[in-house]
Structure 1
């Protein structure tokens, strides 16, 4: 029995060392990427027209933003082919439709990272007094909104 106990302790210590060691491993640091507007322009001038042709897209507005500053913006193609109206990234309005869900989810997750929104809290906490009728037995939480599982019609 004594040998069994000693082996059990030895194996347990080995497991602890493996698991604790993995938690304390140092992550590699990655050098920040510097964005050069001239390089971005050269890249987009090559890639976007090729992609537009492949996807049969009439026009694209391309904008790179970092730290709330526009680093680069350019329009490709036309907003109106018949009138030859070029895409202007400052003025052209696009119909986003379902792609807006991606932008909304990204914005919400940034607020989650900042600690301003909790995905598991009742949405009433974020509605500023606005009322809605909840016919469900559970409160509607932000996660339900993002995954389209609220039960709303």
Structure 2
């Protein structure tokens, strides 16, 4: 059981950090394209990665312990939570976009889409990493 939980925690950490960094790069592209006066700080990047990890960690642990379809519930809820938090922030960055050139508009919209694609991929990557880490484990719950 400890091995499964450890694998789930590791999968959540890896998926959260990796996709958090991807989302951070896209967020920076949105900020540059929309001429938002922001900086690319290490603290901001760390906060985004921590948010991604915290959103997916409970789901990753459950996914490591359960083999049925219910293991997708918590990772998907974590991704929905991240999306709900990102939506107002990105909408604010895109609010004055009509004043800019078409290239900047397309770049900002594409980068915004990239942020949400990273969020959508988070549960998929997490459960896949758990499956890969536990490829030899029997499909039973941790309680057994």
The structure with more helix, counted as a fraction of residues: 2
- Report if TM-score (shorter chain) is over 0.5: no
Larger radius of gyration: 1
The structure with more strand, counted as a fraction of residues: 1
